[in-house]
């Protein structure tokens, strides 16, 4: 059985789109379509119901999908076992990370990892939907390893290794009415205009959940696609923000929160059902060993002492 055709089938089944599957596999759409047709011919069964606008798995396709995933996982393990006597790791590892936020010194980790494992093709990508998008990409097989800052919850499909846990702080412009306070409550900010990331980012999920539990509402005036961009709008006087204490924030004053959201968690994640290959496991080890960058040199000034 052609392993490439099996991989193409799994990609189409998870994306329910030949176009997206081809993009994920870095292949032409015609190649992916031909691979799926070849597998259907070999198995003697239609795996997809196709219309001009959509496609879905047939009952046979639903039965074949878990077996196909298991076959690909077994193939990965076979390569790993065969290479146990070879000091050089091989393969491709797709890592999902946060755009513009180096909680881990990722450039250094990547440079060191690539020097130690030159035969591993390391591909980095981000998601416009933050941690939520990264975890969806991981579950669907678009990624092999991904960072996540979503609040902790039991997920039978995901293995998470914690890297850091950072408190939330308020950011206000210098000269703001609260800028001289040492500590404030979330309720003292609800009448302000707010700056935040887009829905789906881990920090936004935690903050929205906390505000919802307290029945508090806020007025969002700006939503940005990267957490490091939030302080720029705060410094310009557009609004206030509540963010993990990790971003650089020149021009802002950092004020501690008495009752902020639970700490912002950072973890590196892999899938459980097919497990990461040897190269992906080595990358996870490198990321965990690097530790999370300290937030101390990134913090904006604290609020001056004030009763």
Higher pLDDT, 296 or 156: 156
pLDDT digit string, tens, across residues 223-265 = 998 899 999 999 999 999 999 998 899 999 999 999 999 999 9
Whether this prediction's pTM lies above 0.85 is answered by no
Q: What does the block give as tokens for 290?
A: 């690097």
pLDDT, average across residues 175-197: 95
Q: Residue written as tokens 């599957």? A: 21
Query: Which of 114, 115, 116, 119 minimizes the C-alpha distance to 83?
Result: 119
CATH class of 165-262: alpha beta
pLDDT given at position 78: 74
Local confidence band at 300 (pLDDT 50, 70, 90 cut-offs): low
Local confidence band at 73 (pLDDT 50, 70, 90 cut-offs): confident
pLDDT given at position 297: 45
Say yes or no to pLDDT of 102 above 90: no
Say yes or no to pLDDT of 152 above 80: no
pLDDT given at position 296: 42
Local confidence band at 75 (pLDDT 50, 70, 90 cut-offs): confident
pLDDT digit string, tens, across residues 15-65 = 889 998 898 888 899 999 999 999 999 999 999 998 878 899 999 999 999
Say yes or no to pLDDT of 217 above 70: yes
Q: Residue written as tokens 């050089």? A: 88
Most confident of 38-47, 88-97, 139-148: 38-47
pLDDT given at position 2: 87
Inter-axis angle of helices 18-25 and 29-43, to 10 degrees? Answer: 110
Local confidence band at 9 (pLDDT 50, 70, 90 cut-offs): very high
Local confidence band at 299 (pLDDT 50, 70, 90 cut-offs): low
* Residue 232 φ then ψ, to 5°: -65, -40
The burial of 105, by beta-carbon neighbours within 10 Å (0-12 exposed, 13-18 middle, 19 or more buried), is given as middle
CA–CA–CA angle 45, 46, 50 (5° rounding): 180
Domain ranges for the chain, please list them: 1-82, 165-262
DSSP class of residue 187?
A: G
Local confidence band at 266 (pLDDT 50, 70, 90 cut-offs): very high
Local confidence band at 79 (pLDDT 50, 70, 90 cut-offs): low
DSSP class of residue 108?
A: H
Handedness of CA 144, 147, 150, 153 (dihedral sign): positive
Q: Which CATH number fits domain 1-82: 1.10.10.10, 3.40.50.11710, 1.20.1250.20, 3.90.190.10?
A: 1.10.10.10
Q: What does the block give as tokens for 153?
A: 């919850």
């Amino acid at each position: 059985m052609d392993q490439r055709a099996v991989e193409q089938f799994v990609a189409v089944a998870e994306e329910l789109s030949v176009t997206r599957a081809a993009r994920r596999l870095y292949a032409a759409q015609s190649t992916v379509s031909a691979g799926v047709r070849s597998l259907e011919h070999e198995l003697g069964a239609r795996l997809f119901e196709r219309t001009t606008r959509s496609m879905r798995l047939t009952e046979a396709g639903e039965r074949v999908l878990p077996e196909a995933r298991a076959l690909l996982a077994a193939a990965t393990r076979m390569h790993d076992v065969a290479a146990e006597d070879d000091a050089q790791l091989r393969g491709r590892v797709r890592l999902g990370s946060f755009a513009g936020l180096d909680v881990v010194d990722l450039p250094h980790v990547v440079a060191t990892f690539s020097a130690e494992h030159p035969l591993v093709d390391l591909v980095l990508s981000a998601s416009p939907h933050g941690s939520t998008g990264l975890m969806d990409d991981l579950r669907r097989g678009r990624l092999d390893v991904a960072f996540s800052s979503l609040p902790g919850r039991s997920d039978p499909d995901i293995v998470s290794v914690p890297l850091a846990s950072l408190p939330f702080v308020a950011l206000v412009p210098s000269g703001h009415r609260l800028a001289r306070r040492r500590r404030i409550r979330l309720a003292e900010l609800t009448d302000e205009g707010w700056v935040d990331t887009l829905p789906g980012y881990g920090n936004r999920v935690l903050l929205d959940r906390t505000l919802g539990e307290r029945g508090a509402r806020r007025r969002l005036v700006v939503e940005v696609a990267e957490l490091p961009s939030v302080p720029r709008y705060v410094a310009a006087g557009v609004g206030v923000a509540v963010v993990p204490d990790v971003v650089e924030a020149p021009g802002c004053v950092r004020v501690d929160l008495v009752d902020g959201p639970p700490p912002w968690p950072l973890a590196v994640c892999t899938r459980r059902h097919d497990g990461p290959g040897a190269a992906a496991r080595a990358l996870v080890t490198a990321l965990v060993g690097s530790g999370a960058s300290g937030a101390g040199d990134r913090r904006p000034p604290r609020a001056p002492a004030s009763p």
